[in-house]
């Protein structure tokens, strides 16, 4: 199954990346402006090739990559995470997500039951994430994914973190799980629940049984992957997920902003109560 090959490849690439010798080619220089981006791409491709990424994958993946200014604007402007809980819920349409989410739970009862049996995660927090991230798959972003991830790897603010995401994206391109033309959210998030590339590699799950992981076109894959992510972050079947309860720590792994974590817990609770 391609899912198994994807995970095995992830382990191999991670091990290779961790085991690089001290004499490996130095990482390309980061910048907080667009200056030097094209030169950085050339240098990064050389580094990635030296680290075992095939030239054909690199040429295909970087064919249309440009410095993505909307990505930098979004990265510098995440002001909603500083709002109070009530203001955040209003801004993100929390009550509308609860109302629509209850219908989504009823309409997809068999899917959520299967996911809970397999991963131990109930419908509520999954629906909360699905609704807040993309309006239940209605808006997944318009930014060129490879450009977004490359721009953030080049940017000095979180270079190491997004360099790892870029290597994961290259792996997904090489495996055929990510089109070089794919578009998504401003930070390179993919699909209906907005997974960064490394999370697709680590937690992507085939929820509909077709032998591949499609985070964009398959709600079953996106939701099963989200449950697998929470399980991978310590979710305990049957335990509570409100602040102070055991599974809130797993929710905290989804997003570093406390107000976002609280919103997932609250929306999920309202949906699971019905």
Asked if residue 213 lies in contact with residue 226, where contact means CB atoms within 8 angstroms, the answer is no
Q: Would you write out the chain's pLDDT as a tens digit for each of its 274 residues?
A: 444 444 434 444 444 334 333 334 455 789 999 999 999 999 999 999 999 999 999 999 999 999 999 999 999 876 667 899 999 999 999 999 999 999 999 999 999 999 999 999 999 999 999 999 999 999 999 999 999 999 999 999 999 999 999 999 999 999 999 999 999 999 999 999 999 999 999 999 999 999 999 999 999 999 999 999 999 999 999 999 999 999 999 999 999 999 999 999 999 999 999 7
Q: What is the pLDDT at residue 224?
A: 98
Asked if residue 77 lies in contact with residue 43, where contact means CB atoms within 8 angstroms, the answer is no
Query: How do strand 183-184 and strand 143-144 relate by DSSP bridges?
Result: antiparallel
| Residue corresponding to tokens 């019905």 | 274
Q: What SS3 state is found at 209?
A: coil
Q: At what angle do helices 145-154 and 159-175 cross, to 10 degrees?
A: 150
Query: What digits encode the pLDDT tens for the residues 66-115?
Result: 999 999 999 987 666 789 999 999 999 999 999 999 999 999 999 999 99
Asked if residue 111 lies in contact with residue 207, where contact means CB atoms within 8 angstroms, the answer is yes
What's this model's pTM, rounded to 2 decimal places? Answer: 0.88
Number of Cβ within 10 Å of residue 253's Cβ equals 14
């Amino acid at each position: 199954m391609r899912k198994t090959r994807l995970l095995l490849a992830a382990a191999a690439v991670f091990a290779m990346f961790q085991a690089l010798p001290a004499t490996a080619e130095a990482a390309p220089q980061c910048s907080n402006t667009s200056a030097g981006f094209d030169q950085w791409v050339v240098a990064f491709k050389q580094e990635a090739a030296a680290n075992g990424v095939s030239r054909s994958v690199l040429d295909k993946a970087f064919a249309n990559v440009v410095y993505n200014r909307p990505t930098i604007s979004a990265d510098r402007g995440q002001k909603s995470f500083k709002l109070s809980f009530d203001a955040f819920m209003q801004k993100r349409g929390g009550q509308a997500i609860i109302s629509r989410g209850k219908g989504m739970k009823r309409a997809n009862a068999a899917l959520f039951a299967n996911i809970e049996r397999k991963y131990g995660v109930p419908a509520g927090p999954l629906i909360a994430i699905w609704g807040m991230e993309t309006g239940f798959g209605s808006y997944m972003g318009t930014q060129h994914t490879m450009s977004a991830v490359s721009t953030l790897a080049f940017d000095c603010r979180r270079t190491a973190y997004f360099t790892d995401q870029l290597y994961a994206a290259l792996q997904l391109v090489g495996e055929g799980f990510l089109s070089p033309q794919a578009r998504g959210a401003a930070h390179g998030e993919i699909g209906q629940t907005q997974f960064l590339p490394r999370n697709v590699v680590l937690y992507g799950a085939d929820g509909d049984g077709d032998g591949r992981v499609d985070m964009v076109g398959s709600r079953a894959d996106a939701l099963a992957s989200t449950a697998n992510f929470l399980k991978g972050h310590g979710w305990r079947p049957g335990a509570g997920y409100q602040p102070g309860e055991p599974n809130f720590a797993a929710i905290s792994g989804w997003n570093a902003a406390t107000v976002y974590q609280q919103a997932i817990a609250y929306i999920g609770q309202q949906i699971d109560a019905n």
